[in-house]
Structure 1
Amino acid sequence: MKIESFKNELRGALQKICAENKWSFDNAKQRGMAFENWCFNLLSERYPAADNDPSLCIIRGDDAGIDIFFESKETDEIYIVQCKHPKIAGSDPIPEGEVKSFFSNYKLLADRTYLSHRKTTNPKLEELANEFEYWLKQRYLIHFILISSGESTDKTEALVEKFSNDNQNQNVKFDVWDITGLRDEFVSVKSIEEKYPDTIRLTLAENHFMQPDGTLNNLTFAIRGSALKQIAMDHKDSLFNWNIRRFLGRKGEVNTGLNKTLLEEPENFYYFNNGISALCEDFDFDPKTGKLVVQKLQIVNGAQTVGALKHALVDKLKDTLVLVKLTAVKHASREKGIAASLIKTNNTQNTLRVPDFRSNDPIQLWLEAKFRGTKPRGDLNQIAYGRKRPYPRANSTTSVLKLQDLGKIRYAWYHDPRIPISDPAKLFQLPEENGLYGYSFGVDGEITEMWSEQQFKETLLAIHAYDKIVGELEKLQKANEDLKQVSRLKYYGLKLFKFYLDQVLPSTTDVTIEDLYAFGAKFNSFFDKANRIIGLTLSQSYKEILTREEGTAFSLPRDAKVWELVKRKFDDNLAVFRLAQQH
């Protein structure tokens, strides 16, 4: 996105916020308040799992030069932000004094004596001071960011470097997002493409590297944990776009061991840890100086190692060495060819499934963003899409839909309900692997980067119908001793609902497809009628097959003859239902 296009986008968004709050866009103060709201929303989109209320997190009044504090518990990060939107169209240089004054708040917030003498009249600022003390103890990574629609200068960049160097042993980062940086953040959040670190520079110690000859450019080296911690802090999840596990948090067994070693015997970390495997588009290494410049670095194995280093105490990392294997492959933004093979072979020590290797495809990134932006309606909950482990957590208002489950639902809905049970791996394999990924997530067999709005609505309908059918079949088997495993036919039930929908809806005068997409009373009424036929059909088929062939309950869903029997019984039952409706 060009800067001018972004400015127009920003202007329109601020005008909308002003209109919603009955503020005047031409009033500098109120336009500034709208900019604060916009920045808060940007952070919320960047951290969708964070549960923050703008009315509590946006400070106004006696704010000490702080406009927003934003907490991301899931990543142990805090954003303390000052927002400056001085002009509508122009981008003046950002004043050096503004940056220095704002960054100085780091020391002031940590100084309880100063805070008590200041005697703030703003309870939000007092709350921030109390929370700040807690964040320091918990070793949260604290970001101080000045966001401005102006432009950075050499002086402001020098201040960022100075404050960063002065506090390098603390869990704090200082940054200025000027109009260009803000545009980049906006595009990164909104884009379905994931961002990759362009350039990372390291200096390797003498006798800490080897560069074997081979078909691929490779460098194996040992590096201080403090250097990797800084890289992790600088680039965050963009290092792990290709990693199919990512850092699982500090509570798992593996991470507990990593943390214990880093705390109690960091000098042995090199011997106990398997290290990191990384890919990049290219790297340049000078063995005489030890200077290493890496383009588009991606860590494909070792996310937990990096996660543990990121949260370790700085003074422990000076004695910590970490083994890194770096391989250069072309097209570091595409998970294909040799890159795909390296990712798979470097991710086999933990239990992985075929769907994991599709988790970074463009369509999966698009789906994650699309579900996040889809509001609940009727009986349909908010859906959090789990394209990659660790998956989001479900709660009373949010349902989690995993990548592998969506692939099965969608293939059963549009194609064959047997495959999700008989050969589910094929649903996530590419066409060149003789897989069905183009049908489970594509359109008409073609792999695509996004769906049309209509295709997405149909998928929502399939998801909701599937959930309802699972619930009904579970009730059925609990209520009937001779239907103990009828819920195994859930994908059959979903496909039968699709049959019912295609055959009955066109002749139904009081329900439209848009009514079904609302997932309200009309959907429930339509589903209940379909469910009577579906439940009857699956019960009859289940009993008949088990009477004829004892012990085949587990093979029912993948048996072609069973599916043919189910379809015949459904057609017969639907015909009886329609005949009854005519009388």
Structure 2
Amino acid sequence: MNIDEFAEEFRQEVLSRCNDEESGHFREDKFTEVMIEYLIRADEVDDGEVCYYKHNARGEKLNGVNFSSDGECVDLFVSCYHGIVPPKSVPNSEVNDHFRWIRRFFEASLGGTHRHLEESSPVFSVAQQIHAQREEITRARFFLLTDGIVRKAEVQSSTVNGIEVRNFLWDLEKLRRFITSRMQREVIEIDFATDFGASVPCLEAPGTKGEYRTFLVFFPGTLLAELYGEFGPRLLEKNVRSFLQAKGKINKGIRKTILEEPQNFLAYNNGISATVEKVKIDLPAKGPPMLRWARDFQIVNGGQTTASIYHAFKRDGADLLNLVIQAKLTVLNDPNKVEIYVPQISRYANSQNKVNAADFSANHPYHVKLEESSRRLWAPSVTGTERQTHWYYERARGSYLDDKSREGTPARMRAFEILNPLRQKFTKTDLAKYENTWSQYPYLVCLGAEKNFIKFTEMFIDRGYPVVDEDYFHHLVAKAILFKTAEKLVGAQGYGGFRANIVTYTLAWLSHHTAQRVDLEKVWKEQKLSESLCEAIVTVSKTANEHIVNPPPQRRNPGEWSKRQDCWETFRSTAIIIPFGLEHELVDTGRPDYRHGLKDRDDASGYTSETQKEISLVKQVPAETWLKMSRWAKETDNLAPWQRGLAFSLGKVVGSGNSPTPKQAHQGLKILEESQRRGFKM
């Protein structure tokens, strides 16, 4: 695919996320959003949030931001978007202008420019957080994103107020190389002897000559700090970065040892685990073998330790001369099995922590089955013709373009686009956004795409993955249509800079107050929302906007306010009058055709007082309610199948005048609580 063809493909991907009425910086926002997603896939950044700001008089501009989990690194994004094909040639003067604008914004934020910004604006929280963390920030990374072509880039690093600043440029040609190479991240090659002064002593474990070899390596603390300073989070395999993001501040115990007892670090610390594709080992006449070179070095356990050593060195000036850390280095001899081994090594090496037990891999059966369903199931035709289309689930980033390119000829590729419209493509982070909104976790959605996906995965690990059948896929697509339509409707209201937050809060409120009885099957069949539902979205969005942009005095910033659970709980209880016609469109969960009866009978003798209380509470709920709950859960695709079955069983047990078992009672109360949280009315 030549650069012009690629530019048109990319332009269409951006436009597929825009409303027809949107122009100006709104399209630039979508461009920034798409680029950040590719940077995440390229392992350049962990996450990113779109945040547009431009002040012409002061020469400042910002398009996106991401703060590291430890607060010591900030990524700032600035976009140079044209939206034209063939792509425009971007001169060095324009490149330098954009880097200067983002630098000025950073400098102003460090100096407290948030005091002069409107508190309800998204950029306020960014500037405020930079200022608040000015003593902790040791690194800043500026990313220039453009859909043009930069012929001769002169990207230089610098410092701002003693903070190390590195500039990165991603133009359309660099993005094309990344995507057409099947989206493989840039592999890290480390020449210890040439680039870092010396080879590293190591010992090879006997008997590991099959699919892998294992070495015990002893890294000087200064070397590990230099490696992290050079490559940053790219050293850390995906699961480890997710762990660091969830864990928060660096471990105080590790830091204390580094600063006060560096000579004892080897004895106190468990070390790190890493994988590599290839190594070069020198065998000197005297002394141990020496690790001279490694390809695709990835830390799969010990990210917290690595980051702690680096930050203690950079921020606290720690003396690492006597600090040594051991590493288990696994060399994977079969490159075809790297994608299998690395996630598993990472998962089991970090199994002591619940967050790391989550399998963030796209190879999980849930995602594989969802992908298979998206290729097999046809969406109903809504154009008056017999032509049907797919809703394409992009399980692995870039698979849409891969599948399209495999068609070969231009005619076949156009046919692929017709059957798989770009506007009907959705990713793993989109999936998490739709599901967590519908499940009434809008405050998690507001955390950002990657963080929300991690939370989504954690919850599935805890309660089990849903069964992916035709009904599930139909309803998931209906939720996607809900979200995409709500984005257009909310965008048309002109509320300002918090559209994404307003959308998820609006739909979560409707999910709760309709008890999730929106007819998702009807949405799937018609591939659109009814007029009443659209009217309800607009109505609720007005209150959602007022709620988000007017946080309590102690919260101040709307963006941060929307990420809090109490923000949602307050909004959830807000009374809003929605169109009368919507009630007639909701799914009727029905009523059972027999009546229940209760008897003054207690079979709980011999149980603890707590168990007796639980059994009593379950029996106080009418059988009709349990049966209605079971039907509601089935019709709205709520709860796990076993929970629906238990609700039905409890209805029959209570209706016959019997007592549930202690286990049934305990789980029944949990089902009742979760159903009510999702909007089921007693």
TM-score range, shorter chain: 0.5 to 0.7
| Conserved 8 A contact 2:279-2:331 | yes
Secondary structure in structure 2 of the residue aligned to 1:362: coil
| Conserved 8 A contact 1:91-1:149 | yes
User: Quick one: structure 1 residues 103 and 351, their matched pair in 2 at CA, closer, same or farther if it must change by over 3 Å?
Assistant: closer
User: Quick one: structure 1 residues 224 and 210, their matched pair in 2 at CA, closer, same or farther if it must change by over 3 Å?
Assistant: closer
Q: Indicate the residue corresponding to 1:283 in structure 2.
A: 279
User: Quick one: structure 1 residues 41 and 92, their matched pair in 2 at CA, closer, same or farther if it must change by over 3 Å?
Assistant: closer
Q: Indicate the residue corresponding to 1:356 in structure 2.
A: 357
| Conserved 8 A contact 2:32-2:50 | no
Q: Indicate the residue corresponding to 1:218 in structure 2.
A: 214
Once residues 308 and 382 of structure 1 are traced to their aligned partners in structure 2, the CA distance between those partners, rounded to angstroms, is 33
Secondary structure in structure 2 of the residue aligned to 1:89: coil
Aligned pairs for 1:188-207 (under 5 A) are: 196-203=185-192, 206=198
User: Quick one: structure 1 residues 306 and 122, their matched pair in 2 at CA, closer, same or farther if it must change by over 3 Å?
Assistant: same
Q: Indicate the residue corresponding to 2:61 in structure 1.
A: 66
Once residues 117 and 340 of structure 2 are traced to their aligned partners in structure 1, the CA distance between those partners, rounded to angstroms, is 61
Shift in Å, 1:127: 8.7
The reply on whether 1:137 has 2:135 as its aligned counterpart is yes
- Name which of structure 1's ranges 235-244 and 201-210 shifts more when overlaid on structure 2: 235-244
Shift in Å, 1:163: 1.6
Secondary structure in structure 1 of the residue aligned to 2:61: coil
The reply on whether 1:373 has 2:433 as its aligned counterpart is yes
Shift in Å, 1:273: 1.9
| Conserved 8 A contact 1:109-1:115 | no
Shift in Å, 1:177: 0.9
Letter of the aligned partner of 1:241 in structure 2? K
2:330 to 318, 327, 347: 327
Shift in Å, 1:369: 2.4
Once residues 5 and 293 of structure 2 are traced to their aligned partners in structure 1, the CA distance between those partners, rounded to angstroms, is 33
The reply on whether 1:484 has 2:615 as its aligned counterpart is yes
The reply on whether 1:294 has 2:290 as its aligned counterpart is no
1:402 to 451, 455, 460: 460
Letter of the aligned partner of 1:278 in structure 2? A
Secondary structure in structure 1 of the residue aligned to 2:305: helix
Q: Indicate the residue corresponding to 1:175 in structure 2.
A: 168
User: Quick one: structure 1 residues 482 and 537, their matched pair in 2 at CA, closer, same or farther if it must change by over 3 Å?
Assistant: farther
The reply on whether 1:236 has 2:225 as its aligned counterpart is no
Cα offsets for 1:268-305 (capped at 9, x unmatched):
43443222111223333456797744333332221221
Once residues 114 and 143 of structure 1 are traced to their aligned partners in structure 2, the CA distance between those partners, rounded to angstroms, is 15
Secondary structure in structure 2 of the residue aligned to 1:34: helix
User: Quick one: structure 1 residues 22 and 115, their matched pair in 2 at CA, closer, same or farther if it must change by over 3 Å?
Assistant: same
| Conserved 8 A contact 2:239-2:347 | no
Q: Indicate the residue corresponding to 1:97 in structure 2.
A: 93
Letter of the aligned partner of 2:170 in structure 1? W
Secondary structure in structure 2 of the residue aligned to 1:259: helix
Secondary structure in structure 2 of the residue aligned to 1:35: helix
Shift in Å, 1:484: 3.2
Q: Indicate the residue corresponding to 1:526 in structure 2.
A: none
Q: Indicate the residue corresponding to 1:579 in structure 2.
A: none
Q: Indicate the residue corresponding to 1:208 in structure 2.
A: 200
| Conserved 8 A contact 2:332-2:338 | no
The reply on whether 1:81 has 2:73 as its aligned counterpart is no
Once residues 311 and 458 of structure 2 are traced to their aligned partners in structure 1, the CA distance between those partners, rounded to angstroms, is 28
Letter of the aligned partner of 1:401 in structure 2? M
Cα offsets for 1:115-174 (capped at 9, x unmatched):
899xx9999899977764444322164221111223344x52xx33x426x789844322
Shift in Å, 1:346: 3.5
Secondary structure in structure 1 of the residue aligned to 2:54: coil
| Conserved 8 A contact 1:196-1:296 | no
Q: Indicate the residue corresponding to 1:537 in structure 2.
A: 652
TM-score of the superposed pair, with normalisation by structure 2: 0.50
Once residues 429 and 248 of structure 2 are traced to their aligned partners in structure 1, the CA distance between those partners, rounded to angstroms, is 27
5+ unaligned residues in a row in structure 1: which ranges? 24-29, 411-440, 445-450, 466-476, 488-492, 506-512, 524-528, 547-552, 559-583
Aligned pairs for 1:233-312 (under 5 A) are: 234=231, 236=233, 239-243=236-240, 246-247=243-244, 255-266=251-262, 268-286=264-282, 292-312=292-312
User: Quick one: structure 1 residues 346 and 79, their matched pair in 2 at CA, closer, same or farther if it must change by over 3 Å?
Assistant: closer
Shift in Å, 1:10: 3.1
5+ unaligned residues in a row in structure 2: which ranges? 368-394, 396-426, 481-510, 518-603, 619-623, 668-682
Shift in Å, 1:62: 3.1
Letter of the aligned partner of 2:81 in structure 1? H
User: Quick one: structure 1 residues 169 and 181, their matched pair in 2 at CA, closer, same or farther if it must change by over 3 Å?
Assistant: farther
The reply on whether 1:151 has 2:146 as its aligned counterpart is no
Shift in Å, 1:541: 8.8
User: Quick one: structure 1 residues 453 and 230, their matched pair in 2 at CA, closer, same or farther if it must change by over 3 Å?
Assistant: farther
Once residues 245 and 486 of structure 1 are traced to their aligned partners in structure 2, the CA distance between those partners, rounded to angstroms, is 41
Q: Indicate the residue corresponding to 2:549 in structure 1.
A: none
Cα-Cα RMSD = 6.0
| Conserved 8 A contact 2:654-2:660 | no
User: Quick one: structure 1 residues 210 and 317, their matched pair in 2 at CA, closer, same or farther if it must change by over 3 Å?
Assistant: same
Cα offsets for 1:526-552 (capped at 9, x unmatched):
xxx999854322447995675xxxxxx
Letter of the aligned partner of 2:299 in structure 1? I
Q: Indicate the residue corresponding to 1:453 in structure 2.
A: 473
Shift in Å, 1:18: 6.9
Secondary structure in structure 1 of the residue aligned to 2:7: helix
User: Which fold has the larger relative contact order, with Cα–Cα distance below 8 Å and residues 6 or more apart in sequence?
Assistant: 2
Aligned pairs for 1:12-91 (under 5 A) are: 12-15=12-15, 20-23=20-23, 30=24, 34-40=27-33, 42-43=35-36, 54=51, 57-62=52-57, 64=59, 66-72=61-67, 74=69, 76=71, 77-86=73-82, 88-91=84-87
Once residues 13 and 361 of structure 1 are traced to their aligned partners in structure 2, the CA distance between those partners, rounded to angstroms, is 22
Once residues 379 and 391 of structure 1 are traced to their aligned partners in structure 2, the CA distance between those partners, rounded to angstroms, is 13
Shift in Å, 1:181: 3.6
| Conserved 8 A contact 1:201-1:291 | no
| Conserved 8 A contact 1:78-1:141 | yes
Shift in Å, 1:203: 1.1
| Conserved 8 A contact 2:239-2:300 | yes
Shift in Å, 1:479: 12
Shift in Å, 1:480: 9.7
Secondary structure in structure 2 of the residue aligned to 1:223: strand
Secondary structure in structure 2 of the residue aligned to 1:247: helix
What is the aligned length?
449
Letter of the aligned partner of 1:258 in structure 2? I
Letter of the aligned partner of 2:59 in structure 1? A
| Conserved 8 A contact 2:76-2:143 | yes
Once residues 496 and 114 of structure 1 are traced to their aligned partners in structure 2, the CA distance between those partners, rounded to angstroms, is 59
Cα offsets for 1:299-358 (capped at 9, x unmatched):
22212213323543424375344322211114567578766775566346x2669x9274
User: Quick one: structure 1 residues 357 and 187, their matched pair in 2 at CA, closer, same or farther if it must change by over 3 Å?
Assistant: farther
Secondary structure in structure 2 of the residue aligned to 1:402: helix
Q: Indicate the residue corresponding to 2:318 in structure 1.
A: 316
Letter of the aligned partner of 1:346 in structure 2? A
Secondary structure in structure 2 of the residue aligned to 1:7: helix
Once residues 70 and 49 of structure 2 are traced to their aligned partners in structure 1, the CA distance between those partners, rounded to angstroms, is 14
Letter of the aligned partner of 1:203 in structure 2? F
Secondary structure in structure 2 of the residue aligned to 1:142: strand
Once residues 259 and 277 of structure 1 are traced to their aligned partners in structure 2, the CA distance between those partners, rounded to angstroms, is 19
User: Quick one: structure 1 residues 249 and 344, their matched pair in 2 at CA, closer, same or farther if it must change by over 3 Å?
Assistant: closer
Once residues 109 and 617 of structure 2 are traced to their aligned partners in structure 1, the CA distance between those partners, rounded to angstroms, is 68
Secondary structure in structure 1 of the residue aligned to 2:11: helix
Once residues 176 and 37 of structure 2 are traced to their aligned partners in structure 1, the CA distance between those partners, rounded to angstroms, is 16
TM-score of the superposed pair, with normalisation by structure 1: 0.57
Cα offsets for 1:505-563 (capped at 9, x unmatched):
9xxxxxxx6xx46x8xxx9xxxxx999854322447995675xxxxxx459999xxxxx
Shift in Å, 1:255: 1.4
